[in-house]
Structure formats: structure tokens, C-alpha cells
């Protein structure tokens, strides 16, 4: 399988991975937001998602973009803005 070298496809991949993390880890996400430890709660899942993303895009694209991090914020955090938290 060829590596992704298109920014648009890389963004789409990052969002798909973030959506899967969100879908399968709802309880951890809610608890992480409520307890202000979201990234610690999802450490293993985020590391696995990042490695998957890194393995599917070209090294150049991975090294010069932050699409995966942006997708995590957009999908995991913005989508859960209704959850009560000390941080917002």
C-alpha cells in the first residue's frame, strides 16, 4: 500500500482515526474531561492512533504537519464541549 502524500487525504485519515478513538472510548473521554486528565486517560489509545497515522503517511508529511493532533482536538474535545469540566 502506498503512503499518503496528499495533505487532504492525511487530514481525512487523521480525522477517521480520531473518530474511531472517540467512538470506542466514550467513557474514558467523558471521565478524562471531567477529571481534567483526558490525555493521560487515553495515553495508550492516542499512541496507537498516532503510530497508525505515522505508518500511513509519508515521513515528510508526518514531520511537517500536525494533522493528527488537530484531529484529536477537533473530534475529541470540540465534540464533547457539553461535558462539565473544570477547564471550561
Give the pLDDT confidence of 12-28 residue by residue, as tens digits.
Answer: 999 999 999 999 999 99
Burial class (CB within 10 angstroms; exposed 0-12, middle 13-18, buried 19+) of 46 = buried
Q: Is residue 47 part of a domain?
A: yes
78: pLDDT confidence band, cut at 50, 70 and 90? confident
Q: Is residue 4 part of a domain?
A: no
Angstrom CA distances, 26 to 3, 6, 58, stand at 30, 30, 30
Q: What is the CA radius of gyration of the chain?
A: 14
- Residue-range definition of the domain harbouring residue 45: 17-80
Contact between 55 and 47 under an 8 Å Cβ cutoff? The reply is: no
Domain count, the chain: 1
pLDDT one-digit tens code per residue, 39-57: 999 999 999 999 999 999 9
Query: Whole-prediction pTM value?
Result: 0.91
Amino acid at each position: 500500500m502506498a503512503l499518503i502524500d496528499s495533505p487532504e487525504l492525511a487530514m481525512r485519515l487523521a480525522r477517521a482515526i480520531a473518530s474511531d478513538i472517540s467512538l470506542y472510548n466514550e467513557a474514558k473521554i467523558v471521565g478524562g474531561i471531567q477529571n481534567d486528565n483526558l490525555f493521560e486517560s487515553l495515553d495508550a489509545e492516542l499512541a496507537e492512533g498516532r503510530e497508525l497515522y505515522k505508518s500511513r503517511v509519508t515521513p515528510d508529511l508526518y514531520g511537517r504537519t500536525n494533522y493528527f493532533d488537530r484531529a484529536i482536538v477537533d473530534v475529541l474535545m470540540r465534540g464533547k464541549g457539553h461535558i462539565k469540566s473544570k477547564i471550561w
